[in-house]
Amino acid sequence: MSALDHGSPPAVQRLDDEPDERVVVSRKAMEIVTALLAMAFGAMIMIGAMEHNRGWGDRGPEPGYFPFWIGLIVIAGSVGVIAQAVFKRSNGEVFLNRGQLKRLAAFSLPMVAFVALSTQVGFYAATMAYLLFVMIVQGGYRIATALAVSVGTTLTFFLLFEIWLRVPLLKGPFEAFVGIH
Amino acid sequence: MENLGNLMHGFGIVLTAYHLSLMVVGVLFGILVGVLPGLGAPNGVTLLIPLTFSMEPVSAIILLASMYWGALFGGSTTSILFNIPGEPSSVATTFDGHPMAKQGRAAEALAYAFLSAAFGALFGVILITLLSGVAAKFAHQFSSPEYFAVYLLAFASFVGLGGASPFKTVVSAGIGFALAAIGMDTISGSLRLTWDIPELIKGVSFLVAVIGLFGVGELMATMEEKLEFRGIPARVSPRDVLAVIATMPRYWAVLLRSSLVGCWMGITPGGPTAASFMSYGLARRFSRRSANFGKGEPEGVIAPETADHAAGTCAMLPMLALGIPGSATAAVMMGGLMIWGLQPGPLLFVEHKTFVWGLIASMYVANVVAVILVLFTVPLFAAILRIPFAIIGPLIVVVSLVGAYTVSNSTFDLWLVLMFGVIGYIFKKLDYPIAPMVLAMIVGDKAEDAFRQSMIMSGGSLSTFWSNYLVGTLMTLALCLLAWPLISAVTGRFNINTPVKIANE
């Protein structure tokens, strides 16, 4: 979402001490941006539907019929949302302020990194790395505590999924190295 | 009483060691999920569904339903002790529950909450038991036009009664239907809306969407506020419980009214969140001690809790009988049903008696199990919240993503979870209702099939939707509900039915 990521990614630090309430995005702007994105999605669906017959064939409505109308309904709804947002008297409501953005980024960026890492090195290694990072860098925990929690969690997952439920999770070179597959 | 015989049959299925232990596991997991903010009942159910693929449907639904009851109880625990609603539907419980706890009456508040919740749930189950026979009578009148009418009615009531902006409801549902259309078209077999991305051929799973929308999205919204857990320690002794039981009859009017509100909101898709707010509002208006509301009035705990559980329970009936889930959690359960190969609808009551009555009987038993477990485990679960959120938050992230991966072992789904997380976060902050989107993803294909088959049957004439009394009534009702926001806007009473801003449970 473009509206969310302007402003440089904040340096990760202990969650802020004084509230920073400078406005990043106003509610009204966000309402309109979201509705425009929904509109674009609706248009995408309509265009996608037009690759198929969208009329009435001898077997009733054809594959393109339903998505085409759904796309149109999404667009119509979004227009309504925009109209409501524009005509509503703005009371200065804030969607996101600086302090919130910082906390949001401090939570979300490691999460995205966790997913990226999982797809490369498997769940178990990524989980360990993720928890270690969050606890040491953001939580300010001692390394020993962080190690205990992250290894303990990873081990619990392993026992729960691979051994007990027999559901194999995503694995990578690390798991192969430890001899799990 | 044919229902009674069926119910006894159900108890026979439920009262086995295996099913009782499933209930205990489900309830405990549910309380945990309910206690943790950012991990709600819809999510809990979603995380369990992949684990039920190899179970008998009746065992699977017992597990999921028990989890749901547990989550409802867990949500009220944190509302009272921490002033943090673990579930959207327990927001109203904080109004008087937490003040009571601060006055040193935590045990009393918890006991009131749990016992009135149990009362509401029991009221709901009895109603379901009585009405199930009626559902079965319609079984053979249901064909494609009726199914389509019922689906339309479900979405129409979100628009008409949901409490959110009708435009936002339409957008949310529309996006859900569009996502459901992605992948193989069930009638012609052609691939739609895949944009040449191979991962989209199998479609977008609603399970992945729910984990993102309700789990990650909720977490992002939680994390952005500074969280402080200042809990009040509590232990509920048997004496507290007995003392509260002794005073319960005094509150019969609140209990009864709240149960009725809850059942109504559960059967129509108003959902437990709206039910608890409405019930709280009514209690405050009619109470002799209304000045005391917000300052620790037991009635202010009893009213939302009773309605919340009555609604949660009653939401199961339209889900089973019509395929219209009355809450987001029921919607996810219905998705589970379809995965297990069962088709919700009146025929279920005829062809899968074991499943239906096993579930209904389990609701009686599991609620008793849940009350007992929650009373004894309060200190334990309250202790979990003392673990800093810097650890709990990331742990929930890991659990959610692992859960999403187990749906179909696809790494693409992990990215989808993040995407849905962003959508859920924005929708939550802008008051878009999320339940219509989830429901649309679940019933999208069915609704489209029902519509197209009706058209095939009628040779393309829309009059088939008014061809008999049943379908005609359903369609007319749906259209009235769709037009409702328009009518009430014109008559200038738009806000009368919308005391709830947070109605997107």
Backbone φ and ψ of A25, nearest 5°: -135, 135
Of B171, B418, B455, the CB nearest to A115: B418
| pLDDT surpasses 60 at B502 | no
A31 CA to chain B: closest CA distance, Å?
Answer: 7
The C-alpha atoms of residue B164 and residue B431 are separated, in whole angstroms, by 7
B41-98 residue pLDDT tens: 888 899 899 888 888 999 999 999 999 999 988 888 888 888 877 777 888 898 999 8
Contacts of A171 (CB under 8 A, 6+ apart): A122, A123, A124, A180, A181
Of the given ranges (A50-64, B409-423, B446-460), which has the lowest mean pLDDT? A50-64
Q: In the predicted model, is pLDDT for residue B226 greater than 60?
A: yes
Q: What is the pLDDT of residues B472-483, one digit of tens each?
A: 888 898 898 888
Contact flag A59-B188 (C-beta cutoff 8 Å): yes
Q: Is the pTM of this model over 0.95?
A: no
- Find the CB nearest B455 among A27, A60, A165: A60
B498 has pLDDT over 70: no
> In a mutagenesis test of the A interface, which of B47, B389, B398, B413 is the best target, namely the one with the most A β-carbons within 10 Å?
B398
Residue B129, pLDDT above cutoff 50: yes
Q: Radius of gyration over alpha carbons of chain A, in Å?
A: 24
Q: Which residues pair with A60 in a beta bridge?
A: A57
Query: Which residues from B are below 8 Å from A60, CB to CB?
Result: 187, 452-453, 455-456, 460
Helix axes B389-408, A143-157, angle to 10 degrees: 20
Q: Return the closest-CA partner of residue B69 out of B123, B122, B19, B27.
A: B27
Of the residues A66, A74, A118, A130, the best mutation for testing chain B's interface (the one with the most B CB atoms within 10 Å of its CB) is A66
- DSSP labels, B453-476: HHHHHHTS-GGGGGSSHHHHHHHH
Q: What's the CA gap between B39 and B168, in Å, rounded?
A: 24
Q: B205: Cβ–Cβ under 8 A, 6 or more apart, which residues?
A: B407, B408, B413
Q: Give percent of chain B with pLDDT exceeding 90.
A: 26
Nearest chain A alpha carbon to B170? A77
Question: Closest Cα of chain B to A122: distance in Å?
Answer: 10
Q: How confident is the model at residue A7 (pLDDT cuts 50, 70, 90)?
A: very low
Closest listed residue to residue B305, CA positions, set B123, B89, B104 = B89
Least confident residue range of A52-61, B69-78, B217-226, B369-378:
A52-61
- A61 to B398: CB separation less than 8 angstroms, yes or no: no
Of A30, A81, A130, the CB nearest to B398: A130
Residues of A in contact with B216 (CB under 8 A): 111
Over pLDDT 70: what percentage of chain B?
95
DSSP H helical segments within B1-90, as ranges? 2-14, 17-35, 41-48, 57-82
Measured between CB atoms, does B137 come within 8 Å of chain A?
no
Contact A59 B193 (CB under 8 A): no
Chain-chain contact of A135 with B391 (C-beta, under 8 angstroms): yes
Minimum mean pLDDT among A157-161, A168-172, B56-60, B175-179: which range?
A168-172
Task: Say whether residue B456 is in contact with chain A using an 8 A CB cutoff.
Answer: yes
Asked whether the beta carbons of residue B456 and residue A96 sit closer than 8 angstroms, the reply is: no
Residues of A in contact with B51 (CB under 8 A): 165, 167
Per-residue confidence (pLDDT) for residue B242, from 0 to 100: 85
Contact A167 B188 (CB under 8 A): no
Closest partner residue to B414 (CB to CB) among A48, A110, A119 is A119
Q: Which residues contact B295 (CB under 8 A, 6 or more apart)?
A: B96, B99
Residues in chain A: 181
Chain A positions in Cβ-Cβ contact with residue B167 (cut-off 8 Å): 77-78, 80-81, 84
pLDDT for position A9 = 38
Looking at CA atoms only, how far is residue B452 from chain A in angstroms? 6
CB–CB of B179/B441 below 8 Å? yes
- Read off the pLDDT of residues B306-359 as tens digits, 9 standing for 90 and up: 999 999 899 888 888 888 787 788 889 999 998 898 888 888 888 888 899 999
Q: What is the mean pLDDT of chain A?
A: 82
Cβ of B395 within 8 Å of Cβ of A153? The answer is yes
* Selected residue of B52, B219, B402 to mutate for chain A interface (largest A Cβ count, 10 A): B402
- Which pLDDT belongs to residue A18? 59
CB B309 within 8 A of CB B124: yes
Over pLDDT 70: what percentage of chain A?
86
Per-residue pLDDT, A179: 66
- Give A19's contacts in chain B (Cβ within 8 Å): 226
Residue that is written with structure tokens 């191979």 in the block? B198
Cβ-nearest to B174 among A73, A110, A131 = A73
CB A143 within 8 A of CB A136: yes
Q: Is A180 exposed, middle or buried (0-12, 13-18, 19+ CB in 10 A)?
A: middle
* A23-27, A165-169, B152-156, B176-180: least confidently modelled range: A165-169
Nearest to A103 among B168, B223, B402 (CB): B223
Cβ-based contacts of A64 with chain B (< 8 Å): 192
